[in-house]
Structure 1
Amino acid sequence: MDKEQQPQTSPHVLIFPLPAQGHVNSMLKLAELLALAGLKITFLNSDFVHEQLLRHTDVLSRFSKYAGFDFRTIPDGLPDEHPRAGHGFMKIFEFLESTTKPIFKEMMVNIKPRVDCIIADGVLGIAVDVAEELGIPVIQFRTISACCIWAYFAVSDMIQAGELPIKGKEDMDRLITSVPGMETFLRCRDLPSFCRASDTMDSTLQRISQDTRKNFEGHGLLLNTFEDLEGDILSHMRTKAPKIYTVGPLHLHLRTRLSDSSRTLLDQSSNSFHEVDRSCLPWLDKQPKGSVIYVSFGSLAVLSSEEVIEFWFGLVNSGKRFLWVLRPDNMVEKGDSIPVELIEGTKQRGCIVSWAPQEEVLGHGAIGGFLSHSGWNSTLESVVEGVPMICWPYFADQQINSRFVSQVWGLGLDMKDLCDRQIVEKMVNGLMVEKRQEFVKSATKVAKLAKECVNVGGSSYCNLDRLVEDIRSMKLNINLSK
């Protein structure tokens, strides 16, 4: 049977991501992997997200080849003009609860054919609540690292141990000892950003802690990671949730399982909410091997104009070539006119675009390093291509990812909580010149492990097959119980 055709008896899986770029991107890749395995997939986006995908991608034609693949939409409750970026993005959870949840429940009651399994974003408590109420098996998918999930899980333990709240800036380098597996290197400043709340009853901190505890219940926990990267932390997690499916890096896993022709098309496609500017690729073609530092702070980070200028000076003063993704909404406010030395320095050695085809960029031979916000998708994409990183985390899971990149995996430098031109210049030269050989050696080793895990017989390859079989068993059990 052609993998892209699925029989009438195939399980019907609904996939529901948080309406944010990183979440939708990785869950679309998971959806395509499950469609390749012959499952019927309904992918539920917010109206706003779906409109962005239609505007900037070929998502409908790309998924039309899979029999039974369907896109549905639902309102997220936010007004159209809401920026959906920066720390203000967290407001979306209130609207999802009040507006989206009742609509989702009605959809699940009436959808045909019946949904046999929901793969819900692990931060979407509304999806888990509705699934439980209607008796639909639910597997939760966390789009962040295992190390961050484990830290979220331990929030209540940190509070009980008196290690939270953080008492002030002078407290930031204090070691946290109540997260198993991280006792020797985790500092206050490395905790997920929500842990910086001065009140341990802070609503966001409590909600994330409670949602994460719920991730360890139910039918399983699905992670975009791999055993050779986060095995030590995963062993701790499995003492609380035995059924964990590690199936990442998803973008590499998908690329590996697709046919050669489909893989070529995938390289030209994206799941971006932004217009991709491919003009940076011909520019990269003209640069020497390993000479360019790629700079991107993802889809949600919002920088002040002062921070942008400091980064810019640091990049220009480093004397290195750079490709910088600077979104139009990247700055809170518009600063003064740009100093002439920055304009001239960029003309000589730089390229600035509003959005780049990141997987292709990181895979380009001219790239020698990645100055990143340490979002999990970006981190994995850099890991896969063997590109060392400078980490400047913005919020949420990014703080802890950056600590693991630098301290545990030896893949780069961590400059969290710092932003001035001298530091940026020093970090760029440290990554690209002074410590380049040791970082490239570590990054090459981990990239090899990533590729092995998604090939036949690898841990992620086998775990995806196990996930598919478990979902098929869910449908069988539902039919037998009727």
Structure 2
Amino acid sequence: MDSKIAEADKAHAVCIPFPIQSHIKAMLKFAKLLHGKDFHITFVNTEFNHQRFLKSGGPKSLDGLPDFQFKTIPDSLPPSDSNATQDIDALSESLMENFLAPFSDILLELNTTATSSNNPPVTCIIADGFLAFTHTAASELGIPILVLFTVSACSLMGFMQFPRLRDKGLTPLKDESFLTNGFLDTVIDWILGMRDI
């Protein structure tokens, strides 16, 4: 079979992590596993974190694999220390306000240039569970999406309890007195596998 035809027939996953180190590391490991199973991978990162990759590995560290490519999105934040994690609150706000359009543009570009570049069209998006804008892009473009929670199973189980905590009146705290009046000693005992929190 012609290698150009074989490349165009590959599954093409666009992987996008929440732009902080632990999430990037987990998503990159998952992307490498998929690549090992013959997926074409496009890994989307912020420009800030992409520059950190290049700084740590050298300017050519991300070159070399035609079926594993990197794309970037501007984070729309002011310059910050390249050796430190960006301000999480500002980054989270920027994600909600500024990432949908550039992410959609990347997906459109990948699908538009698929024929001329001999790359396969995007067949799925694998998004960090904290990136709601990816669901909008997937829906608008008709691309299947999978969600990868890069946190531990225990953290995920905890996050999944937020609605129930709210329904039981345990969150949000009513006022600052709840920090000192013993309320924080309330035992939560209904989460399977997580006793006596």
Q: TM-score, normalised by structure 2?
A: 0.80
Tell me which residue corresponds to 1:69: 68
2:196 partner amino acid: F
RMSD after superposition: 2.4
In 1: Cα distance, 2:62 partner to 2:99 partner: 27
Trace 1:318-357 onto structure 2 (pairs within 5 A). none
- Map 1:175-214; keep pairs closer than 5 Å: 175-182=187-194, 184-186=195-197
Name the residue aligned to 1:143.
Answer: 150
Are the counterparts in 1 of residues 135 and 145 from structure 2 also a CA contact under 8 Å? yes
Partner of 1:101: 100
Matched residue, 2:130: 123
What does residue 32 of structure 1 align with? Answer: 32
Deviation at 1:163, TM superposition (A): 2.5
In the alignment, what sits opposite 1:456?
none
How far is the alpha carbon of 1:70 from its aligned partner? 0.8
Matched, 1:41 2:41: yes
Equivalences for residues 71-90 of structure 1 within 5 A = 71-81=70-80, 85=85, 88-90=87-89
Q: CA deviation at 1:35?
A: 1.2
**1:180 offset after TM fit, Å?**
3.6
3-state secondary structure, aligned to 1:172? helix
Change in Cα spacing, 1:138 to 1:173, as seen in structure 2 (3 Å) is: same
State the secondary structure of the residue aligned to 2:10.
coil
Once the two structures are superposed, residues 129-163 of structure 1 have per-residue CA deviations (whole angstroms, 9 ceiling, x without a partner) of 11112110001111101121111111111111122
Deviation for aligned residue 1:31: 1.3
* 2:131 counterpart letter in structure 1: L
**Aligned partner of residue 179 in structure 1, secondary structure:** coil
Structure 1 SS opposite 2:99: helix
1:399-414 equivalent positions in 2, closer than 5 A: none
Match of 2:13? 13
Alpha-carbon distance in structure 1 between the residues aligned to 2:109 and 2:47:
19
Report which of the two structures shows the higher radius of gyration computed on alpha carbons.
1
Is the 8 Å Cα contact of residues 119 and 139 (structure 1) preserved in structure 2?
yes
Q: Which amino acid aligns with 2:36?
A: L
1:60, distance to aligned residue in structure 2 (A)? 4.9
C-alpha separation in 2, matches of 1:99 and 1:162: 34
Q: Which residue of 2 aligns with 1:92?
A: 91
Question: Which runs of no fewer than 5 residues in structure 2 stay unpaired?
Answer: 1-5, 115-120
Q: 1:110 to 1:7 in 2, by over 3 A?
A: closer
Contact 2:62 2:70 in 1 (8 A): no
In 1, distance between residues paired with 2:81 and 2:63?
A: 29
Q: Percent identity?
A: 30
1:162-216 deviation line (CA, Å, top 9, x unaligned): 222352233333211343443x321xxxxxxxxxxxxxxxxxxxxxxxxxxxxxx
Q: Measured at CA, do residues 17 and 75 of structure 1 come closer, stay the same or move farther in structure 2, by a change above 3 Å?
A: same
Q: Is the 8 A contact 1:122 1:142 kept in 2?
A: yes
Alignment correspondent of 2:3 = none
Aligned to 1:153: 160
Higher relative contact order (CA 8 A, sep 6+): 2
Distance 1:101 1:178 in 2: 37
Match of 1:23 in 2: 23
Question: What secondary structure, in the 3-state scheme, does the structure 1 residue paired with 2:72 have?
Answer: strand
Give the Cα separation in 2 of the matches to 1:8 and 1:135.
19
| Matching residue's letter, 1:103 | P
Matching of residues 264-283 of structure 1 within 5 Å: none
Cα separation, 2, equivalents of 1:137 and 1:59: 33
How far did residue 100 of structure 1 move?
2.0
Q: Which runs of 4+ in 1 moved over 6 A?
A: none
Matched AA of 1:172: L
Q: TM-score, normalised by structure 1?
A: 0.35
Q: Is the 8 A contact 1:18 1:24 kept in 2?
A: yes
Cα distance in 2 for partners of 1:59, 1:15 equals 22
1:145 and 1:134 mapped to 2: Cα distance? 30
Q: Which whole-Å CA distance do the structure 2 matches of 1:7 and 1:59 have between them?
A: 26
| CA pair 122-148 structure 1, distance change in 2 beyond 3 A | same
Cα deviation for residue 63 of structure 1 reads 6.3
Equivalenced residues, count: 179
Q: CA separation in 2, counterparts of 1:76 and 1:17?
A: 13
1:174 aligns with 2:186: yes
CA distance in 2, matches of 1:104, 1:128: 11
